[in-house]
Chain A
Amino acid sequence: MAEGYSILVDTSKCTACRGCQVGCKQWNELPGTQTKNVGSYENPQDLSFETYKVVRFAEGSNGDGKPYWNFFSEQCRHCLSPGCMAASEKDEIVQDEKTGAVLFTPETKNLDFKATLEGCPYNIPRQDPKTKVLSKCTMCFDRITNGMIPACVKSCPTGAMQFGERDKVLDVSKKRVEELKKTFPKAIAINPDDVRVIYIVTNDPKTYWKFAAGK
């Protein structure tokens, strides 16, 4: 199914304000976890069963000697054919028909976590060590089925995140990539035909996050 909704993450407009990361925690009532600074702005260090979204900070030097600093607001891609579901035999993981959201139910506690994680090209699912339940981004299912946009999109000040009907988002994405190519020849949308959360990057996806375009 290719209808439903999509989220566009246009990294060329992202300022790493992390409103999305905090907005996600707030709406989903997830706790702030204990962190330490390990030599980067990036924190928490990874996704967890209590963290559905992490802004990745990646830096280095361009050929011209100038630095770059790439920001990648990582979350579940809500694949059209979700790899995580391969390990799901009953309804532990469901794909909502109307929205396209891929949802982990409490029954995921019965899944083989390792297999589920391996099935995900983007290394997204995480497990609660106590309850064994798996968790990840829900596309703010409770919001989008009640006429609201996802909390992360809502909190984005620059328009780097957009939410809407999939065909329209694809359209916006295509036009934006064309526009960006004038300045950034390497600009692409990452796997737009496979995922609902479409990232636009202006350079090699690996310069953003190691799993940006898949493992």
Chain B
Amino acid sequence: MTNHWIDLRNSDCILVMGSNAAANHPISMKWVQKAKDNGAKLISVDPRFTQTSARADIYAALRSGSDIAFLGGMIKYIIDNDKYFKDYVVNYTNASFIPVEKYNFDDGLFSGYDPKTRKYDSSFWAIKKDSAGIPERDITLQNPGCVFQLLKKHYSRYTPEKVSEITGTPINDLTKVYETYAATGTKDKAGTIMYAMGWTQHTVGVQNIRTMAIIQLLLGNMGIAGGGVNALRGESNVQGSTDQGLLFHILPGYLRMPTSNLATLEAYNKAITPKTADPMSANWPQNLPKYSVSLLKSFWGDKATIENDFGYGWLPKPDLGRNYSWLNLFDEMYEGKIKGFFAWGQNPACSGANANKVRQALAKLDWLVNVNIFDNETGSFWKGPGMDPKKIKTEVFMLPCAASIEKEGSIANSGRWVQWRYKAVEAPGKAKPDGEILTELMIEIRKLYKKGGKFPDPILNLKWDYTDDHGDFDAHKVAKELNGFFLKDVTIQDKQFKKGDPVPAFGFLQADGSTSCGNWIYCQSYNADGNNMARRKKDDPTGLGLYPQWSWCWPVNRRIIYNRASVDLDGQPWNPARPLLKWVDGKWVGDVPDGPWPPMSDSKNGKYPFIMKPDGLGAIFGPGLADGPFPEHYEPLECPVPANLMSGQFVNPTVKIFKGEMDKHLTCDPRFPFVGTTYRVTEHWQTGIMTRWQPWLVEAAPQMFVELSEELAKLRGINNGDKVKVSTIRGEVDCVAIVTTRFRPFKMGDLTVHQVGMPWCFGWMVPKDGGESANLLTPNVGDPNTMIPESKAFMVNITKA
């Protein structure tokens, strides 16, 4: 989230799209309700009328996989009707920039596409710069080559008629949503978006969110109270896991993973550090070398020296273009190229797209370690449906671990608030906290490496001092490591620090090896003031619900990021009724500002508001993605229409399509004529590992089901409560039919398209008769930027069982 949960109450219009917040983030509705009590409008856009829709002022249905068409139409509406916030767009976004002449868009393809590699050369999307290296701008926004005009042209094709034919949304409903949301494009109004996996799990997942980001920039909704782009994270600490670099392409603090072409630290730092010639741009990422060096010092301590590039050579470096995301890993595992696998706090046998392939892949392993609080379909895959234990060689180890309330530590929520939790109860039996398991494992691994092994340096040189006097894992030590500390006596910014002192905040980190920091964005979380994550003070000086002394949030306790965009050029709040930040007597008052510099009207020291962008401005034109600088509607890999009405380019031209025996997909095949999607229910958590053992929750949500419209039920002779089979080319799942008015057939031009939906929280192990995972049906194709699978739009059949 750019904002945070409580801030939802400050909004005038809340769009919930790609999310069913009421069911899946129930507590969020507390703040949504408060906004509604203050007169805010709630809009729910979803293929299915959900629990969120039931509370919404406006509901609009759309076919799964057509969000860009829906939102592209909103961009067109905003521009055509002059609903955008002009001062904001001109001053705070790159709308006035001028892309290079070779930028072009023709029939669904941007310039720079290579059909052989299915990749773009993004130099075709560069921004023109003047002789001083500063982006050329036309602040009248009239230049036909400027971003604003290109945007206008790009979305001129997204007429209500065309959009309606793609999305299946009646034009009246489109207009109602557009009008209501676009009304937040004024100084004194805030609109926000709550989205989740309904947006991300598509082959155009990132671009779904980009479309909304463009809308938020046009309406001046970024950086303000009640605004922002807010991802509702799917697990309580998934924010923390990405913060700490759990994904393959990042190191802690979202530092880019080095690749093999970057052989030296110098080359790496150069590659990750953007440059700007514009004195008005703060270009905060210019500090990244301070964070990368401090991270290396944290990894390898005294062994990381200036002579050895601070141990940079010990970091793993995938070859450029190699992608170690989930779908690829399981593809390689299926090919037998992976010998061992830790399934740590997860249940791939039910959570992985095309789960039949995942289950087969597990059978190719030599060993599998299942670290979890319960046994699950992954650890017991070898005795699951269709498996012959005699033929499976995989040796499985179960390591029982402590549940969240059985250990101490930090947890980061969607709003970036990192809250310290105490241990409430002892873990049962021999279950141990994850940190303890990791520590013991590492000690043993080091022992083995001492006896020999390939490339032992990174392991043996690792600084690994996270245990207390009894040799037990100490969460405080890890937290202090993440905050960082000085490695020698220094004076920085007129302040003296002694060796071993905690670093006050990341502004003090150094690139010379004098500071150590395990995660620069967590620097300040545990400093000389103590464990700031454990703070529980309820003071609210702004009255906006920022609660700056309740826990701590990254970065530097800034509760709403990009907050310098909430003020005008003189530093006065756009909306005086919700003053997030204000420039008073040469100082910022309110939230922690996005940097200390004076407002933009200060011609000497003023800075642009979007300090993490090299050019300092919000990116309406975004050249950084794999699939284009503007979002464009493409059909899902499996879709119900014979052609993309927007262009000759049917699906996202940059998706990776797996071609193995189990990687099947079909479009417009009469055997699978209906759109399918997946979602969750309130009662079950993820694949249900934790909740399917809980009798009260199983009582409320006992069995796998499929929801379908009355019209489709009639077509297939299905009655409410019937047992049915839902199938795709990849698999089939038995379900109980819920025949409902909450799904309606989509009228798309002359076409009628039916859609069904299923939860993915069940699995064969427990409860008895609970049913199987919907992921047996979902396709293993991913977004080209993130490789998140397209679990939200695929083609199914449904028949009476």
Contacts and interface: CB of A to CB of B under 8 A. Distances in A.
Interface in A37-63: 37-41, 43-44, 59-61
A15 B699 contact: no
Interface in A19-47: 19, 21-22, 25-26, 31-41, 43-44
Interface in B58-92: 59
B242 interface: no
A36 B703 contact: yes
A33 B699 CA distance: 6
A78 to B, nearest CB: 23
A17 interface: yes
Nearest to B681: A41
B62 to A, nearest CB: 14
B490 interface: no
Contacts of A12: 55
Nearest to B742: A67
A212 to B, nearest CB: 16
Given A15-B26, A17-B26, A25-B696, A39 B737 contact: yes
A13 interface: yes
Contacts, number: 111
A158 B59 CA distance: 20
B431 interface: no
Nearest to A160: B33
A40 B722 CA distance: 11
A158 B51 contact: no
Nearest to B770: A37
Contacts of A82: none
Given A69-B54, A159-B33, A32 B22 contact: no
A106 interface: no
B700 A157 contact: no
B699 A32 contact: yes
B29 A26 contact: no
B53 A157 contact: no
B695 A69 contact: no
Contacts of B27: 157
Nearest to A23: B696
Which of A17, A33, A36, A59 has the most chain B CB within a 10 Å cutoff? A17
Interface residues of B, number: 42
Interface string A102-119: 000000000000000000
Contacts of B23: 15-17
Given A18-B682, A18-B700, A69-B49, A39 B721 contact: yes
B766 interface: no
A66 interface: yes
Which of A12, A60, A67 has the most chain B CB within a 10 Å cutoff? A67
Contacts of A36: 702-703, 736, 769
B721 A44 contact: no
Nearest to B59: A66
Interface in B718-734: 719-722
A15 B700 contact: no
Given A15-B55, A16-B51, A59-B740, A21 B700 contact: yes
Interface of A: 12-13, 15-19, 21-22, 25-26, 31-41, 43-44, 59-61, 66-71, 157-159
Interface pairs A-B: 10 shortest CB-CB: A32-B695, A39-B721, A39-B720, A15-B22, A32-B699, A17-B26, A37-B703, A69-B54, A67-B741, A37-B736
Given A67-B741, A157-B30, 12 more contacts: A12-B55, A16-B23, A17-B26, A18-B682, A25-B696, A35-B699, A38-B720, A43-B700, A66-B59, A69-B49, A69-B51, A157-B26
26 contacts: A13-B55, A15-B22, A15-B51, A16-B682, A17-B26, A17-B29, A17-B51, A18-B700, A19-B26, A31-B695, A32-B694, A32-B698, A35-B700, A37-B703, A37-B704, A37-B736, A38-B736, A39-B738, A43-B702, A59-B741, A60-B741, A67-B742, A68-B54, A69-B742, A71-B51, A159-B33
